[in-house]
């Protein structure tokens, strides 16, 4: 039975609809986003469409995951355009609340995954992942999914959400979709829209660094320091790039590694102009 497309603006109305669908035996998938949809987001929606009876897209630019000097006010917003793109992927429902609906006056409860949120982006963006885990918890409570789909570009976020889901006993499967890249290797990101043409060319240094380290690993290099050095070289050679971090970490626990003797993730954050970009690659 087809489900009429609807947009919900409050957690209560969204949860009531999701509850009805669950009672009808429908399998629900949710794809949480902050909007500004690109092909990477659409890949998540297509994956969800193949795994569930009902696909819910959420669009909410979450203020609690932005720092005081970050780009909340200029983050791109185009709800109508986003919904038009999403409907080509067959979404059934959309949850698009405003700030007041998600964080009522007086709200003071937050969710933390203490250890996994400390390194990498957590070190340079204090409080960011507390905002992420809190809003994802609230989105789960509103949409009542059996399945949630996230992208692998935000690798640390994915690891944190997996741990949170397990630790809090959410009966939700967490699925991931590989990074979608432009033909020149640049990972798709909503923040790419901030780049000038010259900066967009400079952004290729991130994927070049990942490729260099992967090639060294495949050639037999196992020392983390040398693999990190291989990844840094193309970025350091790019005048417009400034490295925030390039690190090799255990793929699940995100703990430091000295030798690649297990699956590891090479993760990086690089500032191009004033735009902070992240990328990663799992090395085995």
Contacts 24+ apart (CB under 8 A), 125-128: 125/67, 125/70, 126/67, 127/64, 127/65, 127/67, 128/65, 128/66, 128/67
Which strand ranges, in their side-by-side order, compose the sheet holding 241-250? 241-250, 264-272, 275-283
CA distance 9 to 181: 32
- DSSP code at position 35: S
State yes or no: is 146 an active-site residue.
Answer: no
> Residue holding tokens 């660094």?
209
Q: Which two tokens stand for residue 104?
A: 């009522």
**How large is the greatest C-alpha to C-alpha distance in the chain, in angstroms?**
58
Given 38, 41, 128, 146, the catalytic residue: 41
Q: CA-CA-CA-CA torsion for 187, 282, 217, 117, nearest 10 degrees? A: 100
- DSSP code at position 181: B
Assess contact for 26 and 133: CB atoms under 8 A: no
Question: Which residues are registered as beta bridge partners of 152?
Answer: none
Q: Which two tokens stand for residue 105?
A: 């006056």
Secondary structure class of 134 (helix, strand, coil): helix
Task: Give the DSSP H or E segment for 22.
Answer: helix 11-23
Q: Which two tokens stand for residue 37?
A: 């949809």
> Residue holding tokens 């703990």?
255
Secondary structure class of 15 (helix, strand, coil): helix
Active site residues: 41
């Amino acid at each position: 039975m087809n489900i009429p497309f609807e947009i919900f603006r409050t957690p209560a109305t969204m949860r009531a609809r999701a509850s009805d669908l669950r009672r009808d035996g429908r399998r629900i998938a949710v794809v949480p986003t902050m909007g500004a949809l690109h092909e990477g987001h659409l890949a998540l929606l297509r994956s969800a469409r193949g795994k569930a009876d009902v696909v819910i897209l959420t669009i909410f630019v979450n203020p609690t995951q932005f720092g005081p000097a970050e780009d909340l006010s200029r983050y791109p917003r185009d709800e109508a355009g986003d919904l038009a793109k999403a409907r080509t992927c067959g979404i059934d429902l959309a949850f698009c609340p405003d700030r007041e609906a998600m964080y009522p006056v007086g709200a003071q409860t937050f969710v933390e995954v203490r250890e996994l949120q400390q390194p990498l982006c957590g070190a340079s963006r204090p409080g960011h992942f507390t905002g992420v885990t809190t809003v994802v918890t609230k989105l789960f409570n509103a949409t009542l999914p059996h399945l949630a789909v996230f992208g692998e570009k935000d690798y640390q976020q994915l690891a944190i959400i997996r741990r949170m889901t397990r630790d809090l006993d959410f009966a939700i499967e967490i699925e991931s979709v590989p990074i979608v890249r432009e033909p020149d290797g640049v990972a798709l990101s909503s923040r790419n829209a901030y780049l000038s043409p010259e900066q967009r060319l400079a952004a290729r240094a991130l994927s070049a660094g990942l490729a260099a380290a992967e090639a060294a690993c495949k050639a037999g290099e196992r020392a983390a320091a040398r693999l990190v050095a291989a990844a840094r070289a193309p970025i350091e050679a790019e005048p417009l790039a400034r490295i925030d971090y390039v690190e090799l970490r255990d793929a699940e626990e995100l703990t430091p590694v000295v030798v690649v003797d297990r699956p590891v993730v090479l993760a990086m954050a690089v500032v191009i102009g004033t735009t902070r970009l992240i990328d990663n690659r799992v090395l085995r």
